[in-house]
Structure 1
């Protein structure tokens, strides 16, 4: 979400979880296809977009206040898929698949939805490296939010490939899968509150 160096390590041996644990606390580490990716903590526009999106989704979709409920949504979960370790900015599971918080540090159950908040330095990591892993694991919906371009891209997994359903921009109210039951005000994500 806001790092400077998304490129994988150039070492000959595959990265391990010990490599992740050795990273400094101020970076987010991920392993994809044996490559270690380390990104500094996100910048404020990315933090704002992710935090405010969580705020918009929590009441209607997690708590069922003003919306259907039925979701478990968290910030920066650690996901373990085979040898890959990913940390999306936000991820959500339908409650029938994840009824309560597991007592583990990392999950191997693929989420139903992930959201990546793009930065100039992580854009390729999120789109080119992580997206195929999400598809392989069957993550049904992926959102990309770009706080600089002020866009929300919505994708749905169909026959193993992501199909782009919409690109929303500006400050309008939008209905976006899988949270189309409630309108989301895009202006909130860009910190344009009236």
Structure 2
């Protein structure tokens, strides 16, 4: 932050134009428009697949709260991961309060990378997630068709796996169920069916 600039506040987030996502990282306001179509597709499919198996669907392993773009307040930091999950055993009453934010660090975060957010997601945000005790982080790149899976190490993140293309994978901490990566990538245009 430059000399003479005041630290960002929550009021700065509230003053953003409709449809913008704001985060406060190290006292700086970071603001981005809504995600691109590819990012929205990847995040939606990922949320549906993990939610069905681990959060609310019948027949899956369960045990998680999986949320879409939760606003997470960690001290002075205000972060909005694309997806986040808390183990129900660690946070049984996570949804009991009716606040519009969470003040407990997730157990898992996922950032869907875009050209405008990739450096921040890979850098400062991952560092804060590690500092706050998040156990796993995923970076999904819908343009490169890749999934990077990170686990918390003592001094930083360790790359557990790098997947890509149309693989079917078992990725920590959700390795109890297979995930077909091809479903995350926006489908190619197809002609509309006839009359």
Determine if the alignment matches structure 1 residue 161 to structure 2 residue 118. no
Match of 1:99 in 2: 92
Determine if the alignment matches structure 1 residue 50 to structure 2 residue 43. yes
Cα deviation for residue 141 of structure 1 reads 0.2
Structure 1: gaps of 5 or more residues: 1-7
TM-score (norm. length: structure 2)? 0.91
Aligned CA distance change for structure 1 residues 97 and 9 (closer, same or farther; 3 Å): farther
Structure 2 counterpart SS, 1:49: helix
The answer (yes or no) to whether the contact 1:75–1:91 under 8 Å persists in 2 is yes
Determine if the alignment matches structure 1 residue 176 to structure 2 residue 171. yes
- Write out aligned runs for 1:40-189 (5 A): 40-100=33-93, 101=95, 102-189=97-184
Could you list the runs of 4 or more consecutive aligned residues of structure 1 that deviate by over 4 angstroms after TM superposition? 8-11
If asked which structure has higher relative contact order (CA below 8 Å, sep 6+), I would say 1
Structure 1 counterpart SS, 2:147: strand
Aligned CA distance change for structure 1 residues 173 and 107 (closer, same or farther; 3 Å): same
Q: Which moved more, 1:136-145 or 1:11-20?
A: 11-20
Aligned CA distance change for structure 1 residues 83 and 70 (closer, same or farther; 3 Å): same
Aligned residues: 186
TM-score (norm. length: structure 1)? 0.91
Structure 2: gaps of 5 or more residues: 189-195
Aligned CA distance change for structure 1 residues 11 and 41 (closer, same or farther; 3 Å): farther
Cα deviation for residue 137 of structure 1 reads 0.3
- Which has more radius of gyration? 2
